Amino acid sequence: MGEGSFIDRAKIKIKAGNGGNGLVSFRREKFIAKGGPWGGDGGNGGSVVFETDHNLGTLLDFRYQQHHNAEDGEIGGRNNRTGKSGENLILHVPVGTVVIDNETGETLADLNEHGVSFVAAQGGSGGWGNTRFKSSVNQAPRRANPGTPGEYREILLELKLIADVGVIGYPNAGKSTLISRVSAAKPKVADYPFTTLKPNLGVVRWAEYKTFVMADIPGLIEGAADGRGIGHRFLRHAERNRVLLHLIDPTSTEEGRDPVPDYLAIMKELELYSEEFLEKPQVVVVNKSDAVLPEDMDKIIKDISTASGGKVHAISAVTGEGVPVLVKFLGRSVENMTKAMADDRD
């Protein structure tokens, strides 16, 4: 993938620093048996820490560098000095990164806010120097502990897009065209399935000083939740969207394709992947109104409204018909969701 490509997954290996060994050392002074113990503790090893940065948008850097090691702690010093601890290794990741243990599949952290951090591999502890082992029966211990090893992990990083509105639907429903119509984004648009191989993001202005972020999720097809097509790779991105825009193509000539079955098939895929999708606000939109007779469009809207149980918008992403009204409706929906989430946190 070329420069600037959207990298949404990366496998890396991380190793925290080992703790430094404790030191066996003795003072050399008169009247003190064998000089007395003088060895300090080893320093702690550095940890590997993931920290989010809203200036980052991809996991591209991790694709090129897969091994990441924190510093080891240093050996204890004379005069009971503790060895220098290893520096933590801070790995900066985009907001929305999920940290997964690649060996067990366990989700270790879901980093969805700017500036949050997570210790993914703990540095080893420094070993005790021989001063620690002095006692009434052992005034000159010759024992020190080695430092403990730092944790090693194989990590899978997954980046979930955080967009206000996620546009879902069958391939070639016009998602990329809609993004290019309402924002400054210029995604690749062509008349064949799976044109979009990565989610496209666009900032949409819906009122003065008010914007929302829209992402077109690559085309879902029936069976996506089971691995068909490429859409299943991006279902996890839609999990973060506050509002889903379900875009329907009424012009498909493929065998077995029809607007209502298309709508129901996509809804089934969302449910199979996660029932939480069914709880998200969804705006149902029939695209390509310019290519359908008005009376046919009226019937399609009525049928889909019956199937969805709600209002259905009609637009043409190519000509712009109905798009301004839709944008304002989406803006208000996002604003209401944002307020509701803020109230929940309070």
Q: What is the residue-level pLDDT of the chain in tens, covering all 346 positions?
A: 333 344 578 999 999 999 999 999 988 776 655 568 989 999 999 999 999 998 887 788 898 899 999 999 999 999 999 999 999 999 999 888 999 999 999 999 999 888 999 999 999 999 999 999 999 888 889 999 999 999 999 999 998 777 789 898 888 888 888 988 898 655 444 343 333 445 677 888 898 888 888 888 765 555 544 544 444 556 666 777 889 999 999 998 777 779 999 899 889 888 887 788 888 899 999 999 999 999 999 999 999 999 999 999 999 999 999 999 999 999 999 999 888 876 765 6
CA dist., res. 334 & res. 146, Å (int)? 56
C-alpha distances in Å from residue 312, one per residue of 7, 32, 171, 298, 304: 34, 91, 20, 10, 7
Strand order across the 97-101 sheet: 67-69, 9-15, 152-159, 97-101, 107-111
Chain-centre distance for alpha carbon 265: 26
Strand order in the sheet with 200-207: 200-207, 210-216, 165-168, 243-248, 282-286, 312-314
For the chain, the structural domain boundaries read: 9-159, 165-345
The whole-number pLDDT of residue 203 equals 82
Please give the sequence-ordered ranges of beta strands (E in DSSP) within the chain, or none if there are none.
9-15, 48-52, 67-69, 89-93, 97-101, 107-111, 117-121, 152-159, 165-168, 200-207, 210-216, 243-248, 282-286, 312-314
DSSP 258-278: -HHHHHHHHHHHHHHH-GGGG
- CATH of the domain spanning 9-159: 2.70.210.12
- Is-contact 151 44, C-beta < 8 A? no
pTM across the whole model? 0.64
Distance CA 70, CA 46 (A): 5
* Fold that domain 165-345 belongs to in CATH: Rossmann fold (3.40.50)
Residue 46 phi, psi dihedral angles, 5° rounding: -75, 150
Euclidean distance between CA atoms 244 and 231, whole angstroms: 15
Give the list of residues 6+ apart from residue 194 with CB closer than 8 angstroms, or none: 171, 218, 219, 229, 230
**In DSSP terms, which residues pair with 26 in a beta bridge?**
37
Cβ burial of 329 (10 Å; 0-12, 13-18, 19+) is: middle
Structure tokens at 212: 């929302």
